[in-house]
Amino acid sequence: MTTMALYNTCKRMIERGQTAGMAKKLDIFYAANKLTDEQYAELTEMLAEKTSA
């Protein structure tokens, strides 16, 4: 899976409210260089907004 495909999948899951365990998944993907710095920052921000709403 390319970084863009993984990013799009995670983004879609967050948008749909499927956020259970997502923060840990994002951390793991980022640590394994499966997400760029920009993608990780955007997804974690989206997740924070979604879980606080």
2: three-class secondary structure by DSSP = coil
Flag whether pLDDT at 1 surpasses 70. Answer: no
Please tell me the predicted confidence (pLDDT) of residue 9: 98
Give the whole-number percent of the chain exceeding pLDDT 90: 89
If one counts the domains in the chain, the total is: 1
- CA angle in degrees (0–180, nearest 5) for 44-27-34: 100
- Distances in Å between the alpha carbon of 49 and those of 3, 19, 46, 52? 22, 11, 5, 5
Which residue range is the domain that position 25 belongs to? 3-52
- 39 φψ region: left (φ > 0), alpha (ψ -120 to 50), beta (else): alpha
Reading the block at residue 35, the tokens are 């997400």
